Structure 1
Amino acid sequence: MKINSKHIAGLFLLLGLTTSCKDELAKVNQNQNEAETPQAAYLLTSTIKTTTDSYWGISNNLASSLLFVQHWARIQYTDPDRYIFTNNDFNEGWSTWYSKSISQLKIIQKLAENTGNDNYKGVEIVLQSWVFSLLTDAYGEIPYTEAGNIDVYLTPHYDTQEKVYTGLLNDLKSAQALLNPSGKNIEGDIIYNGSIAQWKRFTNALRLRIALRIADRLPNLSKTTLQEIAAEGSGYLTSNADNAQLIYRDAPYRNPVSASFEAREDYRVSKTIVDKLRSLNDPRLGIYADTTTTSTPEKYIGVPNGLTASDASNLGFARTSRPGIYFRDPHAPAVILSFSETLFGLSEAVSRGFITGDAADYYQKAIRASLEQYNISNDQIVSYLSQTAIKFDSNRYKKSIGEQKWIALYGQGLEAFAEWRRLDYPQLTPAKAGALNGKIPLRFLYPGTEQSLNGTSYKEAIARQGSNTLLTKLWFDVE
């Protein structure tokens, strides 16, 4: 075959022109107002805000878990309060936490590795562990080991809850080793403003939460985890100033609860918690609930959970209590993990024999921390704690802790839902006109999209865990 030198020269000229055109197009398509390379600080801020909005918002909180644990109730459009859902009703959290939260955190991890900033990497692992814990607490088995790497795992495998929880404890242990208050600074942190010492304490508090989540299944691992935390030495949250929370700002960055109430009036405080707080002379009643618009002798009127639309309408908007202004304020904090929760956890850890200490003292301090969170006066706190009904019962520690923790977790629907299933207290009465034959939901439904987009993995998870229904009990929920 003869090679024509003119043709070869022409080919190289054409390739050169093509490459030049591509380079010019790349320059034209660059957005001069945005950075082409993502920055860890901006991604961190965005991820915290996006994740917390979803965690504290309508689908995962107001219209589901807050109703299940009877903190709130519906006064209109009552189907969710009657446990009437479709697969699409639980899509928002799954979609947001995987496609936005986890994917962005993975990018932060790569940026941290490229710049050698272990503190960014440590914070990324802590936040990622929190997100995965929200997912598995709500749904059960989830993509974990293969999640967030779509280039390699287009249809990620579902891991068992045991594997997820034990994996998260290992991840958090790794994060604790990476976090260094003397290391490089981080920016974009809208939880602790760059305080790595506080991130270290939050990391241990999250380890405590997960260790207790598996305590009925893997008590030895729970105990070992708490021993490792003690040996590490950073400690847990030390006051309400250490609360992991996002404090919202003015619109459009306002609290999602505030945004919901600006548009509509679907929600009221549940009669269950109003009655409980009233029976205990609990000073949080006036913070958790508003007085009725129309004056009533009781001042605070809760709505029974699970009414039909007509029965709820008959109660009326003006004669029932909205959630308190504290929670409807645009700047209200979205609490991720509180000092009070940590103290309740330590009380339980002592009660289970995982650590030494005074379980009753931790319990009383936990209640005090919750009351102080809302600026309740010391005199009121002392009076509240002196009641016989509040006294810690070491023989029934799950009841004592479960009931008071349920009160303290008001507004934190997903965590309250997980703890109610785990501790089995308080003992709640199912929705009055509920659709589950006198039972309360035990999990969220997998989104319908999983059946079509990740069908094989989805079916494997269902075969192990049980049918995709609201009443399928999850692995950590033993009793």
Structure 2
Amino acid sequence: MLKKLSYILLSALALTSCSDTLDDINKNPNATETPLAPFLLTGTLKQGADLYWGSDNNFNSSLLFVQHWAKVQYTEPDRYDVSNNSFTYLWNAGYSTLITDLNTILNFPDQQANSNYKGIALTLRSWTFLLLTDAYGSIPYKEAGLKVTPAYNTQKEVYTGLLEDLKRAQSLLATTNGTVTGDLAYKGNIAKWKKLVNSLRLRIALRISDREPALAKQAAIEATTDAAGLISSNSEIFQFVYTSSPQQNPASAWFETRDDFRISKTVVDKLKELSDPRLPVYAQLPSDASVGKYVGGANGLSNSDANSQGFAKTSKPGSYFLTSASPAILVSYSEVLFNLSEAAARGYIAGDAEQLYKSAITASFNQFGITNATIISDYLDQPIVKYDAANYAKSIGTQKWIAFFGQGLDAFAEWRRLDYPALTAGPATVLDGQLPSRFFYPGTEQSLNGTSYQAAVAAQGKDLLTTKLWFDTK
């Protein structure tokens, strides 16, 4: 027995020694010892762009709700005939992928992720939480990633918490705090990340403005007076640039095999009304050359009525949005200028609200390749476009809705907050003439986190598409 035990111990020692030797042999002397932070950063940027611009959260839901796109077949999402399984991707990818990976970076020791990595991770996590609360309302925030069944926080708690998180992110970011690799958005340019932080702080300030005006004003002042500044040109927009398959724009991939979306008639009619030169960017001419003009698809139709509009006689979204390398715009310069205009109009900050409004429209034109000064000036001089100080929400809301074309989640949030333009539900929609005000919680929350889910619904209101969220006061 002793002999047998000795043999086992010797065998185990030999195997251990062999394993150690193999580990040494298999080490790459040129590889970094701590590669995870760059890899996780690259992954979250790509996955975040896919989440924001992909079908589930964008063109098969929020872009339909704000009537940027419309469906010409399989029209159930355009009629709001959806279930609590329809909005799982934003929730699941947001929590199990993005927030989990970003928390991993935040929890790394300093030698594995310098403070710039952690500042970027905190910024991206704040952006992710912002998308989640804008869409669903109350969400797990403070306990997210810490408990299997985290409690939900109210939307007010999430927004105010994110303002503090972004302050902390700003304090972590500095050009002297180490280099960053794996950054496919800003290529390690920390000054641009700091501008993004302040731009998000300003966005949140306006989200809470109708509920907490004093805090909103304070947040707007802090964001606009911070020495790092805000996004200040189209070269600084926060975006993810796709390449070719399989790393292509999600809408491009969709249209390679599907043909069930068109630009909405609502957008086409508005752009024609305004003689807006963005129309040929946002839309393609119908494939039937005899039509010879841009024709949008109506929202909220039955399958048969949607089909009868004619696949060849209606306009697909513009090729700007449907090529493999089309960028995923996540935070634009024009949005920042619109936010500055509104902050000035509300008296939160000093500034010329009208001039900032004009600059925001100009930035949107430039973003889409329209740079002719005469064309821009003529557009801005139209009475129907001119800034209305007595109803800044209408002026800013309408133009922001146009500028956000393709950015469904943020267009949906701002349309609910500003209530412009006035949209009408389609004839075959199922919400008694109402438009959606939020996403359903995923059905799995009821079974896996039922106690927290029930408490959130009791406080916020029924888990319906028509339940207004805290920030949506009108």
The interval holding the TM-score normalised by the smaller chain is over 0.9
Residue of structure 1 aligned with 2:245, choices 247, 251, 260: 251
Runs of 5+ unmatched residues, structure 2: none
Structural mapping, 1:232-243, within 5 Å: 232-243=226-237
CA distance in 2 between partners of 1:64 and 1:232 (Å): 36
1:119 deviates by: 0.7
Indicate conservation of the 8 Å contact 1:248/1:254, yes or no: yes
CA distance in 1 between partners of 2:35 and 2:450 (Å): 33
Structure 1 residue ranges (4+ consecutive) displaced by more than 2 angstroms after TM superposition: 9-38, 110-116, 229-232, 295-298
CA distance in 1 between partners of 2:109 and 2:317 (Å): 41
1:467 deviates by: 1.2
2:402 paired residue number: 407
1:129 deviates by: 0.3
1:337 pairs with 2:331: yes
Higher mean C-alpha deviation, range 382-391 or range 270-279: 382-391
1:390 paired residue number: 385
2:355 paired residue number: 361
1:306 pairs with 2:303: no
Q: What does the per-residue CA deviation read over 1:46-101, in whole Å, with 9 as the maximum and x for residues that have no partner?
A: 11101110110000001000000000000110000000101111111111111110
Kindly provide the amino acid, as one letter, of the partner of residue 474 in structure 1.
L
C-alpha change, 1:181 and 1:37, in structure 2 (3 Å) is: closer
CA distance in 1 between partners of 2:448 and 2:144 (Å): 14
1:468 deviates by: 1.0
Residue of structure 1 aligned with 2:342, choices 334, 337, 348: 348
Indicate conservation of the 8 Å contact 1:249/1:330, yes or no: yes
CA distance in 1 between partners of 2:152 and 2:76 (Å): 30
Residue of structure 2 aligned with 1:191, choices 179, 185, 196: 185
Residue of structure 2 aligned with 1:443, choices 438, 445, 450: 438
Structural mapping, 1:184-223, within 5 Å: 184-223=178-217
1:148 deviates by: 1.9
Matched residue SS, 1:73: strand
1:94 paired residue number: 91
Residue of structure 2 aligned with 1:63, choices 60, 64, 71: 60
* Equivalent residue pairs, number: 470
Kindly provide the amino acid, as one letter, of the partner of residue 133 in structure 1.
L
Indicate conservation of the 8 Å contact 2:49/2:240, yes or no: yes
Matched residue SS, 1:301: coil
1:324 pairs with 2:318: yes
1:14 deviates by: 6.5
CA distance in 1 between partners of 2:215 and 2:248 (Å): 40
Runs of 5+ unmatched residues, structure 1: 1-5
C-alpha change, 1:390 and 1:116, in structure 2 (3 Å) is: same
Structure 2 length normalisation: TM-score?
Answer: 0.94
Kindly provide the amino acid, as one letter, of the partner of residue 326 in structure 1.
Y
Matched residue SS, 1:291: coil
C-alpha change, 1:22 and 1:271, in structure 2 (3 Å) is: farther
Aligned residues: CA RMSD: 2.3
Matched residue SS, 2:70: strand
Indicate conservation of the 8 Å contact 1:270/1:305, yes or no: yes
Q: What does the per-residue CA deviation read over 1:203-261, in whole Å, with 9 as the maximum and x for residues that have no partner?
A: 10011111100110111111111222244211111110011001111111000010000
Matched residue SS, 2:330: strand
1:286 paired residue number: 280
CA distance in 1 between partners of 2:168 and 2:295 (Å): 48
CA distance in 2 between partners of 1:126 and 1:206 (Å): 9
C-alpha change, 1:393 and 1:455, in structure 2 (3 Å) is: same
Structure 1 length normalisation: TM-score?
Answer: 0.93
Kindly provide the amino acid, as one letter, of the partner of residue 305 in structure 1.
N
CA distance in 1 between partners of 2:43 and 2:301 (Å): 38
1:463 pairs with 2:458: yes
Kindly provide the amino acid, as one letter, of the partner of residue 268 in structure 1.
R
